[in-house]
Amino acid sequence: MKFGIETPTCLAGMMYPVPFATADDVIRVAVEAEQLGYYDVGGNDHLSTMQYVRDAWQAPPDYFEPLITLANIAARTSVLRLTTGILVLPLRQPVLVAKQVATLDQLSHGRVILGVAVGGYRDEFETVVPELKDRPRAEILQEGIEALRVLFEQRCSSYQGKHIRFSAVESYPKPVQAPLPFYSGGNTDGSIRRAAELCQGWLPAGIGPEQIAEGRRRLDLYARAAGRDPAEISIAMQSVVCLADTDAQARDKLRSSSFGVFFRSLEQTMMKGVSLDRHADLNLVGTPDQVCGKVAALEQADVSALRALLLVGNTVDELLDQARAFARHVIPAFPDPPSPGPP
């Protein structure tokens, strides 16, 4: 099992209070993650503050652009993989993204993992790209992934989609990795289908082993229908992490953090019909032994990585305390053998 944590690039007002981390704090978290033995660090992506964050906090949060942040992390680390967890591709122009990601992969000597998704907040999409507000974001995401593949793999790249178009673009350098690993973020059937048809992996969030197993079944069906070998497509998962000496203490710590604001913002989308206690059951919340049991169940369901883990805490020091506890109690219980599969 591979383990990675999410740096607080764009999580103030959501997982964390406002203010939370400085730019230096974000880098400090990543550098310590490498020292603690994590496989990768992630960067979340927001270009504007969502309305619910504006309503919940008096001051605006700092959101650090993830690709630029990961480039700084690359310069301060040596083996740590650099994950976008996730990049909201419908907000971004694909030719520019291709140039940025290829450059980052070159600068880091092939350490980039590109997680992409629709994004959790339609109001941000409509604010940033109002000319696209009536268009389906899933269609734009699908075209964006296809367009990036063309730009990464062809010398002279053209793409003519319904939403994305460019012609005769020569974009060099290409990424070091060929193919550069893409992960399709999200829990929906569309996310699974995009993973099966276009990506190296599926990156769901906060679901249990039964849902993972069902997702694996559909992923395999879609992959075979697309003429791909399902064994070449892996499953990573994003989860909330909150460790404590007792289960009750872990749940109390979760409730007293700013995570509740984040959770409530997704009650009509990703968290629909899920209580906070049920969410704690599904995520890595509890004692170290309980969390190890949950990780073992996810591994049995064919999860090969826990990526962009969201560490509970109201300060950066509390976040790092969780990172250290997880590295001390959980990572050693799941040694990661060499694998021919995607990162």
Q: Which CB contacts under 8 angstroms, 24+ apart, belong to 193-197? A: 193/218, 193/222, 194/141, 194/142, 194/145, 195/219, 195/233, 196/220, 196/221, 196/222, 196/223, 196/225, 196/226, 196/228, 196/230, 196/233, 197/222, 197/223, 197/226, 197/228
Q: How far is CA 2 from CA 39, 144, 150, 247, 304, in A?
A: 6, 27, 29, 24, 6
Q: Please check the confidence at residue 88 and state whether its pLDDT lies above 80.
A: yes
CB neighbour list of residue 262: distance below 8 Å, 6 or more residues apart: 11, 14, 15
Q: Please check the confidence at residue 327 and state whether its pLDDT lies above 90.
A: yes
Comparing CA positions, the residue from 221, 215, 92 lying closest to residue 144 is 92
pLDDT band at 300 (very low <50, low <70, confident <90, very high): very high
**pLDDT at 338 (0 to 100):** 67
Tell me the pTM. Answer: 0.95
**pLDDT at 100 (0 to 100):** 98
Comparing CA positions, the residue from 164, 10, 179 lying closest to residue 93 is 164
**pLDDT at 271 (0 to 100):** 54
Spatial separation of the C-alpha atoms in residues 342 and 186, rounded to whole Å: 18
Q: 253-278 pLDDT, tens per residue?
A: 999 898 877 777 766 555 566 678 88
Torsion angle defined by CA atoms of residues 31, 40, 181 and 154, in that order, rounded to the nearest 10 degrees: 0
DSSP letter, residue 328: H
Spatial separation of the C-alpha atoms in residues 287 and 193, rounded to whole Å: 35
Radius of gyration of the chain measured on its C-alpha atoms: 19
Give bridge partners of residue 169 from the DSSP assignment. 157
**pLDDT at 92 (0 to 100):** 98
Q: 32-67 pLDDT, tens per residue?
A: 999 999 999 999 999 999 999 999 999 999 999 999
**pLDDT at 261 (0 to 100):** 74
Spatial separation of the C-alpha atoms in residues 4 and 80, rounded to whole Å: 9
- Calculate mean pLDDT across residues 292-304: 98
CB neighbour list of residue 340: distance below 8 Å, 6 or more residues apart: none
Q: Is the peptide bond before 140 cis (omega within 30 degrees of 0)?
A: no
**pLDDT at 275 (0 to 100):** 79
pLDDT band at 279 (very low <50, low <70, confident <90, very high): confident
Phi-psi group of 224: left, alpha or beta (phi > 0 → left; psi -120 to 50 → alpha; rest → beta)? alpha
* Residue percentage of the chain with pLDDT more than 90: 90
- Calculate mean pLDDT across residues 193-203: 98
Pairing outcome for strands 240-243 and 182-185: unpaired
- Calculate mean pLDDT across residues 22-33: 98
Q: Got the DSSP string for 134-157?
A: TS-HHHHHHHHHHHHHHHHH-SSE
- Calculate mean pLDDT across residues 127-146: 97
Task: Calculate the average pLDDT of the chain.
Answer: 95
Q: Would you state the structure tokens that stand for residue 339, as one six-digit string?
A: 């694998």
- In the chain, the domains with their CATH numbers are 2-333 (3.20.20.30)
The CB density around residue 8, as the number of other CB atoms within 10 Å, is 27
Spatial separation of the C-alpha atoms in residues 73 and 217, rounded to whole Å: 36
Spatial separation of the C-alpha atoms in residues 333 and 297, rounded to whole Å: 13
Q: How far is CA 143 from CA 56, 131, 137, 228, in A?
A: 34, 17, 10, 19
Phi-psi group of 119: left, alpha or beta (phi > 0 → left; psi -120 to 50 → alpha; rest → beta)? left
